[in-house]
Amino acid sequence: MLNKDKMQIEKEQDVVPFRNRVKEYAVKIGMSLVNQTKLITAASELVRNMLKYANGGMVIIEVISQGRDSGIRLVFQDKGPGIKDISLAMKDGFTTGKSLGIGLPGTKRLVNEFDIKSEVGAGTTVSIIKWKNG
C-alpha cells in the first residue's frame, strides 16, 4: 500500500469506500481505535459537506511524519461556491443548511490540525491532520 492516495468524490455512494480507505491508512500507521474513529468521523463530515455544497470534489489521503510521530493528512478540494465568511463558519452554532449546525468547529475538535482556505466562486480547500498519538 502506498503512502499517498487520491479519491474523486462525486456521489453519496463514494462516501463509504472513502471512509474505508481512510481507515486502512489509519490502521496501517497503528493509530488507536478512538483516534481512528475521530479521524474517520471528521473525514465523513467534511466529505459530506463537499457533496452537499459543492457537488463533490477530490480528497488526497497521505501518511506524514514529524520527528518520531506519524500521522494522516487529508486534503479536501472542491470547486464549489466557496465560503464567504470563514470566521463565521468556524463559530460554534453556525449553520446554513438544514444540518445540526455542528459542521466545522466540531470537526476541528476531532483533529490536531485544521486549515481552511476558500474563495467565493472558485472553491474551498480543507486540510486536516490527525497524529497517531494526537
Place of cell 491508512: 25
Length of the chain: 134
Site string (46-85) toward other proteins, x via CB under 8 A: --x-------------------------------------
30-60 in b/e form (b: 16+ CB < 10 A) is ebeeebbebbbebbbbbbebbbebbebbbbe
117 lines the binding site for other proteins (CB under 8 A): no
Nearer to other proteins among residue 3 and residue 20 (C-beta): 20
Q: Write out the residues near other proteins by the rule CB under 8 A.
A: 12-13, 15-16, 19, 33-34, 36-38, 40-41, 44-45, 48, 92, 99-100, 102-103, 105-107, 109-110
